[in-house]
Structure 1
Amino acid sequence: MADKVSPYDSRIQYKTANLNGVTYSYILAEPASKPKNTVVLVHGWPDLSLGWRYQIPLLTSMGFRVLVPDMMGYGGTDSPEPLSYYTYKRAADDIAELARQVGAPSIILGGHDWGGAIVYRIALWYPKLVSALFSVCTPYHSPRSQFMDATKAPNFKYQLQLRGPDVQAHILGEEKLRQFLNALYGGRGPNGELGFNTTEGCNFEVLPKIGPTRLLTNEEMDFYVKRYAIHGMRGPLNWYRTQELNFEDEKEMAKNIEGFKFKMPVLFIAGTKDAALPPAISHGMDMWFESLTRREVNTSHWALWEKPAEVNKHITEFLSDKSETLLSNL
């Protein structure tokens, strides 16, 4: 099993930064000697910065400084109401500002779930800042000139529930947050019942029956519940309510996207058993990259936790192979 940091590990520090008027909480982990470069890891839903607990020790051992923010609406980061705070463009601007504040002239990006979608967008909006990126489970989709609702895809039907009022209204208080997180992280009822699926979303009647997930320790789950209780579910769910705003931000970019290719090296790690992001939806993405490395791990959506050694092996090989081009002037 891969090494990992615990919620209160002495190897990590919890910091805050004001990024374009919003207070972000982030994890900082430093290598033993002068850092080669800065890695920024971006989590998805429903997760936190601690979702990268198995990757932080790996990256510091490789000589990288690691920054892992709680994204907008999560944990110790502010949770403003307007949806404009939850767009790809806003996330890109905030991560770029974090890099500026810590004095990083270039960064390596890692993303999972929504974080995977975000790191591609940061590279689109700030290509000179990003020296390499890796995405776990999330393939790339290009800006479009015409709006397409993601929920038309069968594997994204659950998003209809998440963007609506029901989950936000029902998942209130620490007890229900714990039930909800256990369900999303693969916990089951006594007869194998699931509390969440990609077709309907959450089954509120089943949630109280769900047992503990195997993917988090009791200490980790307690930490997650406390951090989610700070703001509740509105902020995390707002990421599902921004499709039109993201489309509007990228309409002009889409007009000039033909022939575009990402110039920085990119690693995409698919999860064979990921129900929401099956590997098949990545078909055709290769055309957008000058240097794309594809890997696949036999795991569900929670690849970072289920198969950390395999995920870390692919990240290690990718960054080691590109080491000469990833050195920064820190």
Structure 2
Amino acid sequence: MFNPTDFPKPTLISVNGVKLEVFEAGQQNVGKPIVLCHGWPEHAFSWRHQMPALVAAGYHVIVPNQRGYGNSSSPTEVTEYDIEHLSGDLVALLDHYGYENATFVGHDWGAMVVWWLTLLHPSRVNKLINLSVPYQERWEKPWIELMEVMFGGDFYFVHFNRQPGVADAIFEENTFQFLRNMFRKNHFIAEPEPGMMMINLARAEKPLGEPIMSDSELAVFVSAFKASGFTGSVNWYRNLDRNWHLLADVDPIIQQPALMIYGDRDAVAKSKNLADFVPNVEVVNLDCGHWIQQEMPEETNQIILKWLEKQDAN
């Protein structure tokens, strides 16, 4: 397990009208940037196992808490969490460090941001690595609209949009319990329960499966969300249909070399047609759940480093 005191101390950096809390390592490797983008409900700390390995491989590692997370700004307007703003933060971060482009790595929501950042600002991404969440095809109807038809109003993506504030308040009342119950592995939910899955998770007194981290590691996430609340981070979901409109006129094909890492036990579905949209993609599967880089840190590091080495040799 990782000692939280070994994690780099953050700097607050002003970019794109907000302040981002940024954790940095390998400043001696200036000129070879890699930016790691966390998911929900996570934190830059979710990359703690990858940072030292990437520094050792010669990278300048930049890990922001994105807007709505940790000590980064949490604007009150919902629309300030759309993909224009989220990708704009990352582009401005590159500008801050004086980088034309960088390698981007994303997990969960961070992966969605990295896919879309690459579509909106292709010149700023030289290669990309995404974990868990594959490229999302732009369907004929906006995503939330379609999810509501397919999965119903209790599906958490839909619930977050149609009942704003309800889930956020429950997560805040049960911050420790929600995150403790969330960061688990080796459990399978056989039948979908009635109600909204994430709210059920926040209210469940007994966690399922096994923890993926120590109590002191979990405490980092808990204290961050106790300070920030959950609304900023949940607002990312509330922009899915807005993002669908913002991406309407963008070329949907990603040409950069890409690595996609799936967890075979992840509830997130794998893409059946990933190569149609990301022709230069390599796909790797690991025997783990959703929290890939925290569940199997060594294996994740090896896969990432090997792939990066191969790209550099080309």
Distance in 1 between the 2:157 and 2:59 partners?
A: 35
Q: Tell me which of 65, 68, 85 is aligned to 1:90.
A: 85
Distance in 1 between the 2:133 and 2:114 partners?
A: 10
2:254 aligns with 262
Distance in 2 between the 1:25 and 1:222 partners?
A: 18
Residue 168 in 1 paired to residue 168 in 2? Answer: yes
Q: Assess if the C-alpha contact under 8 Å between 1:19 and 1:97 holds in 2.
A: yes
- How far apart are residue 63 of structure 1 and its match? 0.4
Distance in 2 between the 1:296 and 1:193 partners?
A: 22
Q: TM-score normalised to the size of structure 1? A: 0.84
Q: Assess if the C-alpha contact under 8 Å between 1:29 and 1:60 holds in 2.
A: yes
Q: Assess if the C-alpha contact under 8 Å between 1:144 and 1:251 holds in 2.
A: no
Identity %: 24
Residue 298 in 1 paired to residue 304 in 2? Answer: no
1:137 aligns with 132
- How far apart are residue 27 of structure 1 and its match? 0.7
Deviations 1:237-288 (A, max 9, x none): 11111122112211222xxx3xx5322110001111111x122xx1112012
- How far apart are residue 203 of structure 1 and its match? 1.3
The one-letter amino acid of 1:278's match is: A
Alignment of 1:210-225 (within 5 A): 210=207, 214-225=211-222
1:102 aligns with 97
Q: TM-score normalised to the size of structure 2? A: 0.88
2:243 aligns with 246
The one-letter amino acid of 1:159's match is: F
Q: Assess if the C-alpha contact under 8 Å between 2:132 and 2:290 holds in 1.
A: yes
Structure ranking higher in helix proportion: 2
Aligned with 2:247: secondary structure?
helix
Q: CA, structure 1 residues 188+168, in 2 after alignment: closer, same or farther (shift >3 Å)?
A: farther
Deviations 1:105-163 (A, max 9, x none): 22000000000000011111111111100000110023456423253454992323334
Q: CA, structure 1 residues 143+205, in 2 after alignment: closer, same or farther (shift >3 Å)?
A: closer
Q: Assess if the C-alpha contact under 8 Å between 2:171 and 2:202 holds in 1.
A: no
Distance in 2 between the 1:111 and 1:197 partners?
A: 31
- Number of equivalences: 308
Q: Assess if the C-alpha contact under 8 Å between 2:176 and 2:222 holds in 1.
A: yes
Aligned with 1:13: secondary structure?
coil
Distance in 1 between the 2:118 and 2:98 partners?
A: 18
1:71 aligns with 66
Q: CA, structure 1 residues 168+123, in 2 after alignment: closer, same or farther (shift >3 Å)?
A: same
Q: Tell me which of 176, 179, 185 is aligned to 2:177.
A: 179
Distance in 1 between the 2:39 and 2:111 partners?
A: 8
Q: Structure 1 runs of 4+ off > 6 angstroms?
A: 196-199
Q: Tell me which of 264, 276, 292 is aligned to 1:272.
A: 264
Report the RMSD for the aligned CA atoms in angstroms: 2.9
Q: CA, structure 1 residues 184+162, in 2 after alignment: closer, same or farther (shift >3 Å)?
A: farther
Q: Assess if the C-alpha contact under 8 Å between 1:5 and 1:56 holds in 2.
A: no
Q: CA, structure 1 residues 160+314, in 2 after alignment: closer, same or farther (shift >3 Å)?
A: same
Distance in 1 between the 2:293 and 2:305 partners?
A: 14
Q: CA, structure 1 residues 303+145, in 2 after alignment: closer, same or farther (shift >3 Å)?
A: same
Aligned with 2:219: secondary structure?
helix
Residue 40 in 1 paired to residue 69 in 2? Answer: no
Q: CA, structure 1 residues 170+313, in 2 after alignment: closer, same or farther (shift >3 Å)?
A: same
Alignment of 1:198-209 (within 5 A): 200-203=197-200, 206-209=203-206
Deviations 1:80-104 (A, max 9, x none): 1111221122111110000010112
1:151 aligns with 147
Deviations 1:206-260 (A, max 9, x none): 423338962121211222111111121111111111122112211222xxx3xx5
| Gapped regions of structure 1 (runs ≥ 5) | 326-330
The one-letter amino acid of 1:289's match is: V
Q: Assess if the C-alpha contact under 8 Å between 1:161 and 1:200 holds in 2.
A: no
The one-letter amino acid of 1:167's match is: A
